[in-house]
């Protein structure tokens, strides 16, 4: 959520996703979330979804550390727009998943 709030300060808007390296693992985890959610509902086991959400959060933090979504010393570019889009998708998946398991997602921690 912090990436989304700060992106505007840097003039970075969401853009087409062009992923490579560490970002691919995050995108794969995002792609698997609907299946994990359906499985949790089918099995009536929120623990399955909670573990998937933890894996998604870990994947996001790896990308966040290795591939900053916001420019550090360079000018904003298409890669930053792509990463802001990926961060937004991760936020949506985490919020929806947390809601499904009965947790209240927070905008700030």
> Cα(101)–Cα(88) distance, rounded to whole angstroms?
20
> Cα(90)–Cα(75) distance, rounded to whole angstroms?
24
Q: 2-100, superfamily in CATH? A: Isoleucyl-tRNA Synthetase; Domain 1 (1.10.730.10)
> Cα(101)–Cα(18) distance, rounded to whole angstroms?
31
Token digits for 21? 């390296």
Q: Give the residue, 1 or 15, on which the prediction is more confident.
A: 15
CB within 8 Å of 53: residues ≥ 6 apart: 93, 94, 97, 98, 101
pLDDT in tens, 84-97: 999 999 999 999 99
pLDDT in tens, 100-109: 999 988 876 6
Could you tell me the pTM of the whole model? Answer: 0.89
Show me where the domains of the chain are located: 2-100
Q: Is the dihedral of CA 59, 61, 64, 65 positive or negative?
A: negative
* Residues 13-25, mean pLDDT to the nearest whole number: 88
């Amino acid at each position: 959520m912090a990436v989304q709030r700060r992106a505007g300060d840097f003039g970075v808007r969401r853009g087409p996703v062009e992923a490579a390296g560490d970002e691919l693992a995050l995108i794969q985890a995002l792609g698997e979330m609907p299946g994990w959610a359906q499985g949790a509902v089918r099995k009536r086991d929120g623990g399955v979804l909670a573990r998937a959400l933890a894996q998604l959060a870990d994947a996001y933090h790896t990308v966040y550390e290795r591939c900053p979504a916001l420019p550090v010393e360079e000018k904003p570019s298409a890669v930053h727009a792509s990463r802001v889009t990926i961060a937004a998708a991760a936020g949506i998946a985490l919020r929806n998943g947390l809601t499904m398991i009965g947790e209240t997602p927070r905008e700030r921690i």
